[in-house]
DNA sequence: CGCATATTCAACCGACTGGTTGACGATTGC
DNA sequence: GCAATCGTCAACCAGTCGGTTGAATATGCG
């Protein structure tokens, strides 16, 4: 049974490290999809896709809901927040010599625009 | 020899997927460090740390410069930009909140500091 | 009911990972 | 010169990863 997974930076970053999984996430940005439809554009087996979806689920990046015999995959972008925050701790790295907390405040007051 | 590494999302995310490597990056936020000093707080061999530093270098997250017999490690936070932008595509996470920052502190700045 | 569809399970495979140890080249300092 | 220090290299190991195939489990449909 799906015990309550507690996504960590480890699981999130390693889930994101695979290009197939990132592509799946991008697809789910458009809309929820069934497992078979997720698999369709890829050249690998359905079982392999199923495993990727398990990994994304354990990372909290998607949820899956079974309706009838179809399992729908839904993006959960909130799971990226902790990782994003972690990275932003490094992002504002100007010449100023800020410690981690000051840097965080700077990010919070003036969030970087993803250009 | 400055082999032109072309850091990809793959290399960056998989570099970030390891807690030891994230801890190293956090340590380098404070200041540049020699390899031996990077290794000091960890319970693993110097050779293992050296391998981690190679992975961080190939991801573009740090650079290393040898002065005398000491090799200095320097954080290169710009390498996070592409990954950060990619993640921003999924969530309009507005300004980060304090909960998220506390998780950042608890999880990532917890590991032992090198003095 | 019986068959097709949707998805996972189980076993297996080769490649990669993170770790070890010991030897090694380079540099420093007595 | 010689010994200690800094860091990497090479070989090895156990475990994980991404993939396969084939069987199994649900569910829907005619």
Mind listing the pLDDT tens digit for each residue in B30-77? Answer: 999 999 999 999 999 999 999 999 999 999 999 999 999 999 999 999
Q: How far apart are CA B88 and CA A87, in angstroms?
A: 11
**A79-83, B23-27, B80-84: range with highest mean pLDDT:** B23-27
Q: Residue B93 pLDDT > 70, yes or no?
A: no
B110-CA/C18-C1' distance, Å: 21
A48-CA/C16-C1' distance, Å: 18
State whether A54 and A92 are in the same domain.
no
Give pLDDT, residue A32: 95
- Return the CATH number at B90: 1.10.10.10
- E strand map for chain B: 33-34, 62-67, 70-75
Inter-residue contact B105 to B19 (CB < 8 Å)? no
Which carries the bigger pLDDT value, residue B51 or residue B90? B51
A3 domain residue, yes or no:
no
State whether A93 and A48 are in the same domain.
no
State whether A85 and A50 are in the same domain.
no
Q: Which domain holds residue A94?
A: 80-109
pLDDT band at A6 (very low <50, low <70, confident <90, very high): low
pLDDT band at A91 (very low <50, low <70, confident <90, very high): low
State whether A18 and A38 are in the same domain.
yes
Chain A hits for B86, Cβ within 8 Å? 22
pLDDT digits over A46-87, tens only?
999 999 999 999 999 999 999 999 999 999 999 998 898 888
State whether A88 and A103 are in the same domain.
yes
B29-CA/D25-C1' distance, Å: 52
Chain A hits for B108, Cβ within 8 Å? 9, 86, 89
Give pLDDT, residue B46: 97
State whether A19 and A59 are in the same domain.
yes
Name A44's Cβ contacts closer than 8 Å, sequence gap at least 6.
Answer: A20
- Three-state secondary structure of B80-102: HHHHHHHHHCCCCCCCCCHHHHH
Give pLDDT, residue B3: 41
- Three-state secondary structure of A87-108: HHHHHCCCCCCCCHHHHHHHHH
Q: Which bases of strand C sit closer than 7 A to a protein CB?
A: 5-11, 17-23, 25-28
State whether A32 and A51 are in the same domain.
yes
Give pLDDT, residue B34: 97
Average pLDDT taken over every residue of chain B: 81
B115 domain residue, yes or no:
no
Which carries the bigger pLDDT value, residue B26 or residue B5? B26
A2 domain residue, yes or no:
no
State whether A61 and A87 are in the same domain.
no
State whether A88 and A71 are in the same domain.
no
State whether A45 and A60 are in the same domain.
yes
Across the interface, whether the CB atoms of A89 and B83 are under 8 A apart is answered no
B14 domain residue, yes or no:
yes
Per the structure, the count of domains in chain A is 2
């Amino acid at each position: 049974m799906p015990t309550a997974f507690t996504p960590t930076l480890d699981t999130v970053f390693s889930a994101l490290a695979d290009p197939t999984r990132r592509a799946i996430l991008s697809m789910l940005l458009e809309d929820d999809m069934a497992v078979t439809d997720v698999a369709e554009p890829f050249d690998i087996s359905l079982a392999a896709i199923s495993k990727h979806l398990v990994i994304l689920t354990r990372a909290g990046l998607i949820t899956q809901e079974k309706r009838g015999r179809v399992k729908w995959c839904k993006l959960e972008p909130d799971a990226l927040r902790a990782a994003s925050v972690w990275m932003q701790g490094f992002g504002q790295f100007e010449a100023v010599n800020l410690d981690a907390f000051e840097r965080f405040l700077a990010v919070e007051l003036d969030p970087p625009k993803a250009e």
